[in-house]
Structure 1
Amino acid sequence: MSSKDGLTLGDLYRGLREQFAAAGVPEPEVSARRIAAEASGTSAAEVALAPQTPMTVRMVAHADAMATRRVAGEPLQYVLGSWGFRMLDLAVDSRALIPRPETEVVAGTAIDWLNGRARHRHPAGLNAADLGTGCGAIALSIANEVPDARVFATDSSAHALALAAANLAGLGSAASRVSLHQGNWFEALAGVQDPHADGRAAGPLRGRLDLVVSNPPYVADGEVLAPDIDDWEPHEALYAGPDGLSALRAIIGDARGWLAPGGLLVLELGATQAPAATAMAIARGYEDVRIECDLAGTDRVLVASRPHAEPDELELSAAVEWLRAGGFVVAPTDTLCGVMARYADTEAVARVCEAKERPRTEPMPILVSGLAQADELVELSPAARVLAEQHWPGGLTLVAKRRGGADPLHGRETLGVRAPALGWLRWLIDDVGPVTGTSANRHGLPTPADASEAAALLAARQGETKAPGQVIRGRAAGETASTVVDVTGDKPVILRAGAVPAVALEFPEIPTETGT
């Protein structure tokens, strides 16, 4: 219909609204208003404010074409070809996920933190990585709103990166601080050098990121999504394995080594994934782990930091390899200097007993990265799990029934487990598995606070000329020894007083499910 036939913008809007309502399109008024505005070259507000604006044949044809696509179920954002995200208007299509309000909260959390950190930054500037960038919404927003940030945007999809590149072309001068990299998560950044090396020592980007942010896939395989999502948006950006956690697990695991000390991890989560993601972050040795809500009040954003003060990463890497090879390591812990060997390696544990001159029949505590590792070793009642959730990581050792029967070395049916407070130690344990948590001394004698000194004394007692195994240098924090609690019965029994006061160790009431 041409403009001489008297069709106005108001008529077009009303006709589209009726068409969409009849076809069962969700929120028909929104789709009608946005399509009418796009077809007429006006704004959504003008559809209501200037309904008498005459329409041309071309405008009506454009509206009809978009309406056909919308009635067929195509998302409104793809039909329009662009969508607003924070301060940007981004090109969007089926090559990448639609930018949503939840992700604006994620971007805002990252941007606010970067702008706060920028006041105390290294003069060379800030490094941020946006993993799985899609159309580039988060990466471009950071570059646009954080003037000193250099942003590395990655995606495994060449098609998504092409869309991000199109959006980058319209960013203006800030685009010079964004680079696009194809590959799976951090693999895309392998070999990338720190661009701020002129202001500090040259080197690879790994270990120098101030921020890692991502809206990764987090839908479980087989989960039923709305047709306008499942039929149109790219599945590789939606689905993440049987439990929906595979991408989160990979990013949380690897980001720890890519972040600089004090760097921040910000991840978008599924509505029910906050407990699992929090546990993974704590087990991986992050600190200040918290969950933030989206605008609807849903737990949506994981925020976690890499600790500032940690041992040398080369020492940590050497310790991991040595433990995997069956050796043992002397290291400072949150209590005393300890001797660590992989608990799964019975021969390595036996060598720890020999080094300490400790009877093999005497059980030693086992350090775990968190509840997931503890569950592999011992049986914890629901009430005991609550105690662990309340006091781990920290000074609480739980003595529980060992899975798989008696311990092969000390022969007892129970095992004491603890998640240490030090983030780097949980990181190491998360890599190699549970380790012994016994003191680095001859059995029953005082333990030096310095790890190198403790290792040297162990060596001297065995007639060696150098420290045994590997040493992670540093001094133990010297905090109060852990409280040891037997949780095999109906009530907790304190076997040794320590860091956690007795008043905090009552079993909580756990509601039982009853039939109707």
Structure 2
Amino acid sequence: MSGKYATETLHVEEGGIARAAEILRDGGLVAVPTETVYGLAARADSDAAVARIYEAKGRPSFNPLIVHIASLAQARTLAEFSPVAERLAEQYWPGPLTLVLPRRRAAGLSDAVTAGLDTLALRMPAHPIMRGLLDAVGLPLAAPSANRSGFISPTSPAHVLASLDGRIDAVLDGGECEKGLESTIAAVRSNGAVEILRPGPIALEAATKGEGAIEAPGQLASHYAPGKPVRLMASEVAPDEFWIGFGAIAGDCTLSESGDLTQAAARLYACLHEGARSDKPRIAIAPVPQTGIGIAINDRLRRAATLPD
């Protein structure tokens, strides 16, 4: 498959999972809901299919992909699990935790999935539609966020189509995503240490922050960008700024009127999309507490505010 596509919108109640599985087995691309954001899925064992992800997203080839799996047993065939990795998987899977582990060379995955690295990023999603699709396809699926590379992640089918309509084969409609923030990514090292490569919904208290080379998505300095200058910690707003509020600051769009960080995480990308669509040339964002999932929210906001090199 190549060139432009008539992007289908598939509905679960109309056989959408079976149709999506058919497209994926044939090497196509399908945007799929997860509990975090919509992912752009392709079969992870096909060089051609994985190449289409990079092409559709305009994604740098050095930025590896997360591979989604249906079970821990399937994951063990793709990567090496230490006792620490086993404990993390058993505690947090299925759910919004991605583990970066030593890859098995005999796993049969496309080398492009790992961007040539010796590690592999694995996640077992909790969303029933994505889990149903993994069962129906019977293959591990590479699935980064379903948006153009570097821009705002999608939490609804409309967000996906605004960025990728005509570039992918289908969108499997699962409504709004529950968490609204990408998974926590943790690398388990050979000495048992755990490093956080990207903060997210799951906080691992004993982990340290990874500062090395890019091993997983979301580590680029400029990412999640709305295409306009973004100003953080804004307690007041200029006339030409779209204001994203939090708590007592209502703004033009609020992350959470009550100051609830979980709600703020779920609404973050929806507000950034609204700001990107507004006629205001700049975006200002109210202060968000640097605690709990607020750490992950502020990580995304800092990258959204960073201009690309």
Q: Same fold (TM over 0.5)?
A: yes
CA contact (8 A) 2:56 2:167 kept: no
Q: Equivalents in 2 of 1:469, 1:340: separation in Å?
A: 10
Q: Equivalents in 2 of 1:402, 1:384: separation in Å?
A: 13
**Shift of residue 431 of structure 1?**
2.9
Q: AA paired with 1:469?
A: D
CA contact (8 A) 1:343 1:434 kept: yes
CA contact (8 A) 2:33 2:127 kept: no
The structure-2 alpha-carbon separation of the partners of 1:423 and 1:455, relative to structure 1 and needing over 3 Å to count, comes to same
The corresponding residue for 2:242 is none
**Shift of residue 418 of structure 1?**
0.5
The corresponding residue for 1:498 is 200
CA contact (8 A) 2:33 2:130 kept: no
SS of 1:312's equivalent in the other structure is: helix
SS of 2:135's equivalent in the other structure is: helix
The corresponding residue for 1:381 is 82
Q: AA paired with 2:203?
A: P
The corresponding residue for 2:129 is 424
The corresponding residue for 2:68 is 367
CA contact (8 A) 1:401 1:413 kept: yes
The corresponding residue for 1:395 is 96
Q: Higher relative contact order by CA 8 Å / sep ≥ 6: 1 or 2?
A: 2
Q: AA paired with 2:154?
A: P
Please state which structure has a larger fraction of its residues in helix: 1
Q: AA paired with 2:169?
A: G
Matches within 5 A, 1:460-475: 466=166, 468-473=168-173, 474-475=175-176
Q: How many residues align?
A: 191
148, 151, 166: which one aligns with 1:442: 148
Q: AA paired with 1:355?
A: A
Does the alignment pair 1:412 with 2:117?
A: yes
The corresponding residue for 1:482 is 183
CA contact (8 A) 2:32 2:130 kept: no
Identity %: 39
Segments ≥4 residues shifted beyond 4 Å: none
The corresponding residue for 1:282 is none
CA contact (8 A) 1:335 1:478 kept: yes
CA contact (8 A) 1:364 1:437 kept: yes
Q: Equivalents in 2 of 1:487, 1:407: separation in Å?
A: 22
CA contact (8 A) 1:330 1:455 kept: no
Query: Is the radius of gyration larger for structure 1 or structure 2?
Result: 1
**Shift of residue 483 of structure 1?**
1.3
The corresponding residue for 1:291 is none
**Shift of residue 408 of structure 1?**
1.6
SS of 2:177's equivalent in the other structure is: coil
Q: Equivalents in 1 of 2:47, 2:77: separation in Å?
A: 16
SS of 1:341's equivalent in the other structure is: strand
SS of 1:472's equivalent in the other structure is: strand
Q: AA paired with 1:449?
A: T
The corresponding residue for 2:286 is none
The structure-2 alpha-carbon separation of the partners of 1:484 and 1:351, relative to structure 1 and needing over 3 Å to count, comes to same
The corresponding residue for 2:23 is 322
The structure-2 alpha-carbon separation of the partners of 1:450 and 1:467, relative to structure 1 and needing over 3 Å to count, comes to farther
CA contact (8 A) 1:318 1:470 kept: no
Q: Equivalents in 2 of 1:387, 1:422: separation in Å?
A: 19
Structure 2 spans left out of the alignment, 5+ residues: 1-10, 209-309
CA contact (8 A) 2:184 2:200 kept: yes
| Larger displacement relative to structure 2 (476-485 or 381-390) | 476-485
Q: Write out per-residue CA displacement over residues 347-369 of structure 1, whole angstroms, 9 at most, x where no aligned residue.
A: 10110100000012210111111
Q: Write out per-residue CA displacement over residues 310-368 of structure 1, whole angstroms, 9 at most, x where no aligned residue.
A: 93251111000000011010122111111000101121011010000001221011111
> How large is the Cα RMSD of the aligned pairs?
2.2
